[in-house]
Amino acid sequence: MLIATKYEEIYPPEIKDFVYITDKAYTEEEVLEMEVNVLHTLDFNFTIPSIIKFIDRFIKVLDLDEKT
């Protein structure tokens, strides 16, 4: 979730917020360690957020043809 919020949000929540919502099941260090593990597993290979995702979704919702 931390990676996703950094990807999507202008102001992502702080790590302490994730510790709080997990009722302190994880420490800040564990949250950061898992983030590092996920990023290394993905080899830091993910898309860059852009308007194209919104446009793709908008086209699907409106059921527009390719020409439009």
**Could you name the CATH architecture of 2-62?**
Orthogonal Bundle (1.10)
Whether the pLDDT of residue 68 is over 80: the answer is no
Contact at 8 Å (CB) between 38 and 4? no
Domain boundaries, the chain: 2-62
Which pLDDT tens digit goes with each residue over 38-66?
Answer: 999 999 888 776 788 788 888 889 998 87
pTM metric for this prediction? 0.64
CA 6, 22, 39, 58 dihedral sign is negative
